[in-house]
């Protein structure tokens, strides 16, 4: 690599080191002075009858928008109000039942003044996320999340880099603490994330599987020639084998055909070729979990069962079409 490329990599490593140091300092503070305030903030947000209002401006405002989005997507109703716009009518978005969380590294932005006054006037709970406990914002807040001092990754110690990451990390920590505290599940998550790849991952097997006559099945005792016709016509690269009660007892795959390749293969019974007790899934399994099973087992299809009876089949291509993989 060129000297310029090496210099860029060295710069990136210094940035990672500086920002990692900031998060490490934040974790250490959480184990001491910051801990009680963090717990109080989480409790205040949890007990709020209204929503969490996240506010800030500049880089803190950008981080605040992300924090508000994370809270909202993990079960805590929240939205962002820009601190400057609040003084021009957006204060009307905030009610007495809400909790305000204001982000400001210095705690001294003039634009925060009207918002602080409004919170005090209507007795709205105020959480401050700042590095200065004795700042105007810190003194006005009901709970102060004091962030430890850390050097910015910027060589001039000016551009908000490490400090922004620390704000984001602390916001994420609060959101996840509340998520875990209320028992927010993947099912709850799917309700709030119906679109995109996340929405696809949160679909269920029952939403993707083929059922009825589309399932490739043949009974015990079937000749391999007939099983191959079934496998080929259904197009899943396998055929399930069922017993007299309709229970799945085996599966014949492309791999089984290769392993048992011999001149008389088409005349033998599926009983002698099939893989017994094949891996199966239930219809209520999340698509993301189905993909994990397919990848870890190095297979391309899974038969869906209800008890021991096959009720569907899911192929890797179904997951691809749904946007899961």
The residue extents of the domains of the chain are: 3-184, 201-322
- The whole-angstrom separation of Cα 174 and Cα 71 is 8
Instruction: Please determine, for residue 141, whether its predicted confidence score (pLDDT) is greater than 90.
Output: yes
pLDDT, residue 184, reads 78
pLDDT, residue 47, reads 96
Q: What size, in residues, is the chain? A: 325
Lowest-confidence region among 26-35, 71-80, 89-98, 286-295: 286-295
| 3-class secondary structure per residue, 254-280 | HHHHHHCCCCCHHHCEHHHCCEECCCE
Is the separation of the CB atoms in 26 and 132 below 8 Å? no
Superfamily of domain 201-322: CBS-domain (3.10.580.10)
| Confidence label for 286 from pLDDT (cuts 50, 70 and 90) | confident
Q: What is the pTM of this model?
A: 0.68
What percent of the chain is predicted at pLDDT more than 90? 83
Mapped onto helix, strand or coil, the DSSP state of residue 18 is helix
Is the separation of the CB atoms in 270 and 252 below 8 Å? yes
The runs of H, that is alpha helices, within the chain are 3-30, 34-47, 59-73, 83-86, 113-121, 136-140, 162-181, 186-192, 196-201, 205-208, 224-234, 254-259, 287-297, 316-322
Mapped onto helix, strand or coil, the DSSP state of residue 127 is strand
- The whole-angstrom separation of Cα 161 and Cα 19 is 7
pLDDT, residue 43, reads 97
For residue 242, list its beta bridge partners: 219, 248
Is the separation of the CB atoms in 143 and 156 below 8 Å? no
Place of tokens 């006054």: 117
Query: Would you list which residues are annotated within the binding site for Zn(2+)?
Result: 82
| Confidence label for 185 from pLDDT (cuts 50, 70 and 90) | confident
pLDDT, residue 230, reads 94
| Confidence label for 199 from pLDDT (cuts 50, 70 and 90) | low
pLDDT, residue 321, reads 84
- For the domain made up of 3-184, the CATH class stated in words is alpha beta
Phi, psi torsion values for 167, nearest 5 degrees: -60, -45
Is the separation of the CB atoms in 205 and 324 below 8 Å? no
Show Cβ contacts of residue 126 under 8 Å, excluding neighbours closer than 6 positions. 99, 100, 101, 102, 116, 119, 120, 140, 141, 142, 143
* pLDDT tens string 61-83: 999 999 999 999 899 999 999 99
Question: Which of 104, 324, 75, 296 shows the shortest CA–CA distance to 179?
Answer: 75
Show Cβ contacts of residue 197 under 8 Å, excluding neighbours closer than 6 positions. 323, 324
Mapped onto helix, strand or coil, the DSSP state of residue 153 is coil
Q: What is the dihedral of CA 51, 56, 60, 61, to 10 degrees?
A: 80
Instruction: Please determine, for residue 177, whether its predicted confidence score (pLDDT) is greater than 70.
Output: yes
Query: Would you list which residues are annotated within the binding site?
Result: 82
Q: Work out the mean pLDDT of the chain and round it to a whole number.
A: 92
pLDDT, residue 190, reads 65
| Confidence label for 320 from pLDDT (cuts 50, 70 and 90) | confident
pLDDT, residue 324, reads 78
pLDDT, residue 200, reads 64
């Amino acid at each position: 690599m060129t000297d310029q490329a090496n210099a860029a990599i060295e710069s990136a490593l210094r940035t990672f080191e500086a920002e990692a140091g900031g998060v490490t300092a934040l974790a250490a503070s959480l184990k001491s002075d910051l801990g009680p305030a963090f717990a109080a903030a989480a409790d205040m947000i949890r007990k709020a009858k209204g929503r969490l209002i996240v506010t800030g401006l500049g880089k803190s405002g950008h981080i605040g928008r992300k924090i508000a989005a994370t809270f909202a997507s993990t079960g805590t109703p929240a939205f962002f109000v820009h601190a400057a716009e609040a003084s021009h009518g957006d204060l009307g978005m905030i009610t007495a039942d809400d909790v305000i969380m204001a982000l400001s590294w210095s705690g001294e932005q003039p634009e925060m003044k009207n918002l602080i006054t409004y919170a005090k006037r209507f007795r709205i709970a105020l959480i401050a996320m700042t590095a200065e406990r004795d700042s105007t914002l810190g003194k006005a807040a009901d709970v102060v999340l004091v962030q430890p001092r850390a050097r910015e990754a910027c060589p001039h110690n000016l551009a908000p880099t490490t400090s922004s990451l620390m704000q984001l990390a602390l916001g994420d920590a609060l959101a996840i603490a509340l998520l875990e505290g209320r028992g927010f599940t993947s099912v709850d998550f799917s309700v709030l994330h119906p679109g995109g790849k996340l929405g696809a991952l949160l679909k269920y097997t029952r939403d993707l599987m083929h059922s009825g006559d589309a399932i490739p099945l043949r009974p015990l005792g079937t000749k391999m020639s007939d099983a191959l016709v079934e496998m080929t016509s259904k197009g899943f690269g396998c055929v399930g084998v069922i017993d007299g009660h309709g229970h799945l007892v085996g599966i014949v795959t492309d791999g089984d055909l290769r392993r048992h390749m011999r001149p008389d293969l088409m005349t033998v019974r599926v009983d002698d070729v099939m893989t017994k007790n094949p891996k199966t899934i239930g219809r209520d399994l999340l698509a993301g979990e189905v993909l994990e099973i397919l990848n870890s087992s190095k297979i391309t299809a899974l038969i869906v069962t209800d008890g021991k009876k096959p009720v569907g089949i899911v192929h890797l291509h179904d997951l691809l079409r749904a946007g899961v993989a």
